[in-house]
């Protein structure tokens, strides 16, 4: 009886994991204070019994769900990415058109454009405002699946790498971004970018051959086969891989810095846009030379180059190193706006999907 009246002590009672399991013998040697159980769980669950391990895993998963940036289901990432990509390209395409025209305006021939303003002026003069949207269809058809593949791949790669609070360290974000860029380059970007460049370049001709997107695609495939839509694949993989590696690295680093020790801190869309624009600018200065080479390899004069390295060598030899940064200013404006819009829309669409699409 005296033992029954002995005051109960937390440190002598069952561990927290035992308290949620029926049938756990109170004489088992694994009885530990709650603090020791949690410490063991944080150390990797190696010293806990099976049922305690499963409880610890559930606690870690719960922490990941409520502690920081939630892991996003790949299905939501694909849908949100596609929506964001479609909206973004409709807003920013004229800057992409001008950038491509300036990159195709080689010094070997008398330059047609004196700068950004002159390119816009002559295009509107010759083709009207619709001329600034020539090639939009090919990029629109590509932007939706491109962003879907990009964000879906990034989430699939990054979710297993996040810690219990849902945080992703900067090095892993760089690797996940690289993987996302390579995937989108192979699956979507290379064929769609090739078609876009050919359609824009065709407009420079005195007698344009292509009457529209579908006519252009059919003519290119008829003459060159499917391989004709994969011109510049190496340059595209290099460009997109480094592009997304830089963007996701910078965006993740800024997000981690902003949230600091409070992973649950919400980011206002304006903050997300500012961080996205910064990430976009970093990617422009980091890989515009690859973008110039990719554009030349996908143009109508691509047959002049043996391969990607030969293209880069000829640009350097005939036009000088500054040619590798042609179109930087219009690309800077477009990409900063592009990345800012995409990240904001993506984050907001994911929030909306979380309310209507419940996932584990």
Assigned domain for 293 exists: yes
What pLDDT, in 10s, does the model give residues 196-238? 778 777 867 777 888 777 888 888 888 888 888 888 888 889 8
What pLDDT, in 10s, does the model give residues 73-118? 899 999 999 999 999 888 888 888 888 888 777 654 677 888 888 8
Pick the more confident residue, 99 or 20: 99
DSSP secondary structure string, 325-348?
GTTHHHHHHHHHHHHHHHHHHHHH
Tell me what the mean pLDDT of segment 240-250 comes to: 95
Which pLDDT score, from 0 to 100, does residue 327 have? Answer: 77
Pick the more confident residue, 195 or 19: 195
**Mean pLDDT, the chain, whole residue set:** 79
Which pLDDT score, from 0 to 100, does residue 3 have? Answer: 47
Full domain range(s) for residue 263? 232-326
What pLDDT, in 10s, does the model give residues 341-355? 999 999 999 999 988
Has residue 21 got a pLDDT over 50? no
Has residue 46 got a pLDDT over 70? no
Assigned domain for 297 exists: yes
Which pLDDT score, from 0 to 100, does residue 115 have? Answer: 83
Which pLDDT score, from 0 to 100, does residue 11 have? Answer: 44
d(CA 345, CA 84): 5
Has residue 60 got a pLDDT over 90? no
Are the CB atoms for 146 and 188 separated by under 8 Å? Answer: yes
Assigned domain for 315 exists: yes
Which pLDDT score, from 0 to 100, does residue 35 have? Answer: 45
Collect all residues with Cβ–Cβ distance below 8 Å to 235 and sequence separation of at least 6: 290, 293, 294, 297, 308, 311
Which pLDDT score, from 0 to 100, does residue 14 have? Answer: 46
Tell me what the mean pLDDT of segment 2-27 comes to: 45
Assigned domain for 247 exists: yes
Which pLDDT score, from 0 to 100, does residue 41 have? Answer: 42
Which pLDDT score, from 0 to 100, does residue 217 have? Answer: 82
Assigned domain for 252 exists: yes
Which pLDDT score, from 0 to 100, does residue 291 have? Answer: 83
What's the pTM value of the predicted model, to 2 decimals? 0.66
Are the CB atoms for 186 and 150 separated by under 8 Å? Answer: no
Has residue 20 got a pLDDT over 60? no
Which pLDDT score, from 0 to 100, does residue 12 have? Answer: 42
Residue whose pair of structure tokens reads 């990617």 in the numeric block: 283
Has residue 56 got a pLDDT over 50? no
Among 44-48, 77-81, 286-290, the range scoring the smallest mean pLDDT is 44-48
Domain count, the chain: 1
| Calculated CA dihedral for residues 273, 274, 277, 281, nearest 10 degrees | -170
Which percentage of the chain shows pLDDT scores above 70? 78
Pick the more confident residue, 17 or 300: 300
CB neighbour class for 258 (10 Å; exposed up to 12, middle 13-18, buried from 19): middle
Which percentage of the chain shows pLDDT scores above 90? 31
CB neighbour class for 69 (10 Å; exposed up to 12, middle 13-18, buried from 19): buried
Which pLDDT score, from 0 to 100, does residue 106 have? Answer: 62
Assigned domain for 262 exists: yes
Assigned domain for 269 exists: yes
Assigned domain for 38 exists: no
Q: How far is CA 316 from the centre of its chain?
A: 30
């Amino acid at each position: 009886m005296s033992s029954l009246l002995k005051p109960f002590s937390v440190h002598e009672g069952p561990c927290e994991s035992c308290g949620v399991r029926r049938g756990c013998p109170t004489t088992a040697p694994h009885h530990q204070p709650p603090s020791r159980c949690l410490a063991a769980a944080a150390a990797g669950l190696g010293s806990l019994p099976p049922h305690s391990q499963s409880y610890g895993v559930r606690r870690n998963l719960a922490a990941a769900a409520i502690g920081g940036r939630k892991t996003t289901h790949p299905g939501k990432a694909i849908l949100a990415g596609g929506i964001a990509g479609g909206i973004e390209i409709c807003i920013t395409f004229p800057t992409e058109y001008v950038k491509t025209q300036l990159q195709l305006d080689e010094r070997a021939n008398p330059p047609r454009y004196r700068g950004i303003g002159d390119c816009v002026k002559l295009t509107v003069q010759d083709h009207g405002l619709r001329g600034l949207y020539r090639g939009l269809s090919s990029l629109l058809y590509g932007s939706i699946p491109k962003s879907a593949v990009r964000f879906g791949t990034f989430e699939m790669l990054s979710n297993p790498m996040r810690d219990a609070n849902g945080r992703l360290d900067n090095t892993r974000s760089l690797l996940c971004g690289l993987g996302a860029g390579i995937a989108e380059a192979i699956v979507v970007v290379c064929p769609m970018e090739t078609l876009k460049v050919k359609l824009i370049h065709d407009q420079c001709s005195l007698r344009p051959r292509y009457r529209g997107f579908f006519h252009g695609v059919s003519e290119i495939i008829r003459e060159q086969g499917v391989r004709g839509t994969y011109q510049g694949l190496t340059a595209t993989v290099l460009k997109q891989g480094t592009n997304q590696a830089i963007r996701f690295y910078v965006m993740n680093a800024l997000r981690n810095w902003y949230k600091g020790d409070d992973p649950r801190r919400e980011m206002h869309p304006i903050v997300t846009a500012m961080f996205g624009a910064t990430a976009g600018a970093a990617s422009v200065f980091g890989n515009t030379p690859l973008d110039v080479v990719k554009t030349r390899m996908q143009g109508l004069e691509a047959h002049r180059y043996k391969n990607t390295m030969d293209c880069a060598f000829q640009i350097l030899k005939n036009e000088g190193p500054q040619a590798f940064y042609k179109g930087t200013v219009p690309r800077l404006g477009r990409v900063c706006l592009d990345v800012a819009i995409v990240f904001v829309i993506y984050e907001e669409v994911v929030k909306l999907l979380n309310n209507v699409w419940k996932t584990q």
